[in-house]
Amino acid sequence: MNEYWDSLSNKAKAKFIFTVIASVFALIFAMVNWKIVPVNLVFTTIDVYLTILIIACFCIGYFISSLFEYKHYNRKVQEVEALKKEIESLQARVDSMTLEEESAGDMPN
């Protein structure tokens, strides 16, 4: 175990320590909030553990925000592709203009 710990970089060690501390806090949070609470839905009421309810709400929020971020990311990718095509067409125009100028300069007067 000491060899493994010594082989880790300082960043990896800090990440490991942070993960352990965060896990301990999450466990304490779960134990403190392990109570059954009523959840009033539109047509019914169900009893759910508070910790599970909080985790479910967090996961649903994360999923929804991920969908919006994915949509935004796709829009940016499409914009980058369109700009690359525009750059290629403009570069082709510049190249053709350069060739025309060179060929016009080579012609005798």
Compute the distance between CA of residue 10 and CA of residue 42 in angstroms, rounded to an integer. 51
Classified as helix, coil or strand, 43 is coil
Geometric angle at alpha carbon 25, from 49 and 16, rounded to 5°: 130
What is the structure's pLDDT at 102?
77
Q: What is the mean pLDDT of the chain?
A: 89
51 Cβ neighbours under 8 A, 6+ residues apart: 29, 30, 33, 34
Q: Comparing C-alpha atoms, which of 98, 19, 65 is closest to residue 106?
A: 98
User: pLDDT band at residue 72, thresholds of 50, 70 and 90?
Assistant: confident
pTM: 0.57
Mean pLDDT of 76-99: 93
Q: Comparing C-alpha atoms, which of 26, 29, 49 is closest to residue 39?
A: 49
Q: Enter the tokens of residue 5.
A: 């710990």
